[in-house]
Chain A
Amino acid sequence: MTAKLILSMDGVVLKEYPLSKERMTIGRKAHNDIVIDNLAVSGEHAAIITILHDSFLEDLDSTNGLEVNGVPTKKHFLQNNDLIEIGKYKLKYVNEQGGQVNPADFEKTMVMRAPAKPAAPGAEKGDATVGAGVIKMQAAPGAKPAALEETGKFDAQQLNPPVAPAVQPAVPAPQAAVVQILTGPNAGKELELVKNLTTLGKPGVQVAVLTRRPHGYFITHVEGASHPLVNGTSLGDQPHRLNDHDVIELAGVKMEFYFKG
């Protein structure tokens, strides 16, 4: 489905504009695609460039500028529900691509036929480069351009896949956890497990890793002569899930794993 802009003022919706063209202009003068007849709005105030499923907002050197989500902006890659403000007018960008079309369909790799020549980077700066990109895209106009060859079909099992937004879903991170060193010269030091993968030891000598996964923390032996111990028991080659207050021993150093808070 096509993305759209919803124009409103003082909370009253005035009109909806589907982003059906590659380039749509917003301004006071009548030839604009989105006309806002107000003296605070420049003749040609801004443009929205849409390339397939992505839209970009650009200020056309307007007198009073524009804001997106309260931040003054010259150029912006629009995300669903962004609020563009021009004077007293608000334009809400709605692009429910991920939820509305079948995500399997939308995520399938497709080939663009007749690939355009890559835009010459560095030849021209800023707006001119954007212009070059737009011309390039004219080979593939519209939301489902003919120039796009969809080679993907999907099977019955995939007719009801989980809704997959284009943006990588925030993986539910497990509870924060810490490893505190109990023995040796670094005793007392705490290591917060903020990364998905934390290395213990030294590559080439003795390494174990602590991995943070959606359902918990795991310790895995990677290399080295001796396997780490957890609560006195030697680890095998398989990842071992850690419980609160487990004691890990690696190369003679003891440390405690615990959840924070």
Chain B
Amino acid sequence: MKIADALEIVSQTNPGMVRSHNEDSIAQELACGLVVLADGMGGYNAGEVASGIAVSVLATEVCQRLQDASPTDRDAASGEELGVVLLRDSIQRANASIFHAAQSQAQYAGMGTTIVAGLFYDNRVVVGHVGDSRMYRLRGETLETITRDHSLLQEQIDGGMISVEDARVSKNKNLVTRAVGIDAEVVPEIHVHDALVGDIYLLCSDGLNDMVEDEDIQSALYAMQGNLPLAAEQLIQMANDNGGRDNVSVILVKVNGEFAVPHGWLAKLSHWFKK
């Protein structure tokens, strides 16, 4: 199945109940299997600028490269798959763009953004993230976080200083330990996961998971898996009903069919004829 037929993608972004601007940016490129969500930070409109640069750099870079290459190709230099290399490189490129804009224009000084991106191909998803925007996966009835926040709180949880329950009432929720565009270099965290038919992937800004318990996210996704636009609307509504203190964005990707990349000489031949 072609990727565009195998995946269903919906997204929604909302400024929330308190803030006047929306500093989140989202992009979905079904044809190349890419989804990106970024939560910007910085004065005036610099947060929007940073997150906007990040999603547009990723969308353009990744999709352009995939026009004449397959994400399963091996990168000559590292031996890694192109899909993995591409996601990492484009996040680093977004980092450089934001960093340079912030350096050269006073009103953008110090701007930065979190990012979470998923590149779907060959029955897998490559997940890249920086900061505290998350990707969740609903498989069967189980909701799991498949990214680990780059935040002070997560480090404290990992270090055994604070329990997950206590972390919910921590006052240090807003501190990220990695961000895109703050320094000249950034190290994105990249993982590859198998994607199964029936899986639903949720990308969200912290405006969702700070306001809505994972349990409620799970029940909404599970109950509404047959109506993805309604599920997205429900998630945003729950965040806003609970106070909506931050911008809230969600992207939902549902795997409706297999999307293996064809291998073998016949596939290559037909690909060659299509050019």
Which chain B residues border A113 with CB–CB below 8 Å? 182-183
Q: Does A157 lie within 8 Å of B43, measured CB to CB?
A: no
- 0/1 string, B34-63, CB within 8 A of A gives 1: 000001011110110000000000000000
User: Of the candidates A116, A155, A197, which one forms a contact with B21 in the assembled complex, judged by CB atoms under 8 Å apart?
Assistant: A155
Q: Does B174 lie within 8 Å of A109, measured CB to CB?
A: yes
Query: Chain B nearest CB: distance from A154 CB in Å?
Result: 8
Q: Does A151 lie within 8 Å of B176, measured CB to CB?
A: no
How many residues in A have their beta carbons less than 8 Å from beta carbons of B?
62
Which residues of B (101-155) have their CB < 8 Å from a CB of A? 110-112, 114, 132, 150, 152, 155
Q: How many angstroms between the C-alpha atoms of A169 and B245 in the bound complex?
A: 11
Which residue of B has the minimal Cβ distance to A130?
A: B161
- 0/1 string, B14-27, CB within 8 A of A gives 1: 00001111000000
Q: 5 closest Cβ contacts across the A-B interface?
A: A223-B226, A153-B43, A53-B171, A119-B159, A115-B177
Which residue of B has the minimal Cβ distance to A134?
A: B161
Query: Chain A nearest CB: distance from B121 CB in Å?
Result: 27
Query: Chain A nearest CB: distance from B152 CB in Å?
Result: 6
Q: Does B18 lie within 8 Å of A164, measured CB to CB?
A: yes
User: Of the candidates A111, A119, A209, which one forms a contact with B41 in the assembled complex, judged by CB atoms under 8 Å apart?
Assistant: A111
Which chain A residues border B47 with CB–CB below 8 Å? 151-152
Which residues of A (119-140) have their CB < 8 Å from a CB of B? 119, 121, 125-126, 129-130, 132-133, 136
Which chain A residues border B159 with CB–CB below 8 Å? 118-119, 121, 129, 132-133, 136
Chain B contact-residue range equals 35 or more
Query: Chain A nearest CB: distance from B10 CB in Å?
Result: 14
B269 within 8 A of A: no
B227 within 8 A of A: yes
B230 within 8 A of A: yes
Q: Does B242 lie within 8 Å of A171, measured CB to CB?
A: yes
User: Of the candidates A54, A148, A213, which one forms a contact with B170 in the assembled complex, judged by CB atoms under 8 Å apart?
Assistant: A54
Q: Does A151 lie within 8 Å of B41, measured CB to CB?
A: yes
Question: A152-B43, A168-B243 given as contacts; is B155 within 8 A of A119 (CB)?
Answer: yes
Q: How many angstroms between the C-alpha atoms of A43 and B166 in the bound complex?
A: 29
Question: A111-B182, A118-B155, A151-B112 given as contacts; is B171 within 8 A of A52 (CB)?
Answer: yes
Which chain B residues border A119 with CB–CB below 8 Å? 155, 158-159, 161
Which residues of A (96-122) have their CB < 8 Å from a CB of B? 97-98, 104, 106-113, 115-116, 118-119, 121
Which residue of A has the minimal Cβ distance to B152?
A: A112
Taking A109-B132, A116-B155 as given, write out 10 further A-B residue pairs in contact, using a Cβ cutoff of 8 Å, ordered by the A residue number.
A77-B169, A107-B245, A111-B182, A112-B177, A113-B182, A152-B42, A158-B18, A169-B243, A199-B219, A203-B225
Query: Chain A nearest CB: distance from B12 CB in Å?
Result: 16
B211 within 8 A of A: yes
Q: Does A166 lie within 8 Å of B170, measured CB to CB?
A: yes
Which chain B residues border A54 with CB–CB below 8 Å? 162, 170-172
B179 within 8 A of A: yes
Which chain B residues border A98 with CB–CB below 8 Å? 171
Q: Does A129 lie within 8 Å of B211, measured CB to CB?
A: no
